[in-house]
Amino acid sequence: MFRLFSKVWANFKEYIVLVITVLLSLIILSQNQNPKVQKVKAIAFGSFASITSIISDIFSTSDLKRENRELRETNAKLMLHLSKLREFGIKNDELRDLVHFKDTTSFPLIPASIISKSLSFTQNSITLNAGKKDSVLPGMPVINDEGLIGIIQSTSEDYSIAKTLHNVDLKLTVMDERSRINGILKWTGEELIMQNIPSTYDVEVGDRIITSDVSSIIPVPVPVGVVEEFKPSGLGMFSYIKVKPFVNLTNIDNLFILAVVKSKQVKDLELNFYRHQ
């Protein structure tokens, strides 16, 4: 028996090892949602991210001048927006007073920088230099001044990993800002599309897409992109809607994590509701 096994091993050891490692990979693939596996991943990327951050700091300082100029420009644009929003805010407060509605919700922002990017076509993710110590939790939205970047996937003490819009595993409920139609935003591996919109619904090229208020992940409307292409389906029920994201994912360096998760938001809203009963 042993001799037979030795003979088989000697002749086919490469294939035996291949089968074993492939099976092992498939078993590990099926265990991705296991909390223990998630914990091991968090420890592993957290340890490596501390080394990566040193190198990324060296490179990021060379970009400071360009970034400063861009920030000044954004600042000027934001100042103009702000003055407009102030006017709306005053009107909004007046209207809230009329209906005795008090807003108790606030959205603290956690600043973070990208220390590494995985430029994969399908599994695009970014490692950020903010983690559990900064109150970052899985599920929090990652944004910048242009719009949504992604969602925090896992966190370690000092670092976190976020799935970007270019990740096939990230599916978001979004809506057309003009017509208020909800759909599912999904990255196919080559383009960002909005799914489950019937052909008869009102969507036009140029419409702004924002996160939906019925989203189970992002509780506040965050700009996502603009409808680039719209084709009513000839035979099927649903139309083809291609979305161009506002954020250029290849050029981002600094961003913010919106420190809210849906459950807390729902809780706040419910409390707000009962306060007015």
| Residues in 238-267 at the binding interface with another protein, rule: CB under 8 A | 250
Q: Is residue 225 a contact partner of residue 194, using CB atoms and an 8 Å limit?
A: no
Helix (DSSP H) and strand (DSSP E) numbers for the chain: 4, 12
Tokens 């294939």 belong to 15
Smaller CB separation from another protein, 55 or 85: 55
- Which amino acid is residue 120, in one-letter code? S
| Residues in 5-24 at the binding interface with another protein, rule: CB under 8 A | 13-14, 17-18, 21-22, 24
Tokens of 216: 């189970």
Smaller CB separation from another protein, 161 or 203: 161
- Which amino acid is residue 91, in one-letter code? K
How big is the chain, counted in residues?
277
- CA neighbours within 13 Å on the CB side: how many for 166? 18
What x-and-dash track marks residues 182-221 binding another protein by CB under 8 A? ------xxx-------------------------------
Number of residues that bind another protein (CB under 8 A): 45
Per CB under 8 A, the segment of 50-58, 73-81, 142-150, 227-235 that binds another protein is: 50-58
Q: Which residue among 110, 143, 148, 161 contacts another protein (CB under 8 A)?
A: 161
Instruction: Give the three-state DSSP class for 123.
Output: strand
Q: Which residue among 68, 92, 118, 216 contacts another protein (CB under 8 A)?
A: 118
Q: Which of 170, 153, 171, 173 is nearest to 162 (CA)?
A: 153
| Residues in 26-45 at the binding interface with another protein, rule: CB under 8 A | 26-32, 37, 40-41, 44-45
> Which regions of 79-189 does DSSP assign to beta strands (E)?
109-118, 123-128, 141-143, 148-155, 160-167, 171-176, 182-187
Q: List residues near another protein by CB under 8 A.
A: 13-14, 17-18, 21-22, 24-32, 37, 40-41, 44-45, 48, 51-52, 55-56, 59, 116-123, 125, 127, 153-154, 161, 168-169, 188-190, 250
